[in-house]
Amino acid sequence: MDTKKDLWDYTKEKYIIPEAAKDWTLVTIREAWRRHRRDLKINYYDPYDNDEIRMAKNPGHIPECQYRELFKYWKSEKFKEKEKEFVSAKELFVVTRTRKPDRLYKASNENTTSKIICFVRLKWRKLKSK
């Protein structure tokens, strides 16, 4: 699929979708594709140190040549710059709810913040144990 038009035509062949739902459909497909790439990076790229191990642990449903191209993209300077700009919702929550010294607050978010930190630690332990 090279263009949005190609993607839309393919989707209309497979499903009965009215023309009015075109924008919603394309946005939904885009978001699903982004989630899929994110999950690939989290589960098959980040936990391993080099490409040989990554190739050995590949998901199996992606052709090897496409998988290698994805590695090149993730290693590129363009991607690294984009990644620096991104702030996750977890990080934003923690940073915006950090208490200033000697300041009293009506509500405490410490419980939520500590749960986020524990969740992140558990997730990394699971990824490293794979």
Task: Count Cα atoms within 13 angstroms, Cβ side, for 19.
Answer: 0
The Cα–Cα gap between 16 and 6 comes to 16
**113 contacts: CB under 8 Å, gap ≥ 6:** 93, 94, 97, 98
> How do the pLDDT tens digits run along the chain, 130 residues long?
678 999 999 999 999 999 999 999 999 999 999 999 889 988 988 888 888 888 888 888 889 889 889 888 888 888 888 777 776 777 777 777 766 666 665 566 667 777 788 888 888 888 777 6
pTM beyond 0.75: no
> What is residue 15's predicted lDDT score, i.e. its pLDDT?
95
- Helix 22-40 vs helix 4-14: crossing angle, to nearest 10: 100
> What is residue 111's predicted lDDT score, i.e. its pLDDT?
72
What is the phi-psi region of residue 31: left when phi exceeds 0, alpha when psi lies from -120 to 50, beta otherwise?
Answer: alpha
Tokens of 129: 């144990």
User: Where along the chain do its domains lie?
Assistant: 1-86, 87-130
CA dihedral sign of residues 76, 57, 62, 15: negative
Element containing residue 125 per DSSP (H, E): helix 110-129
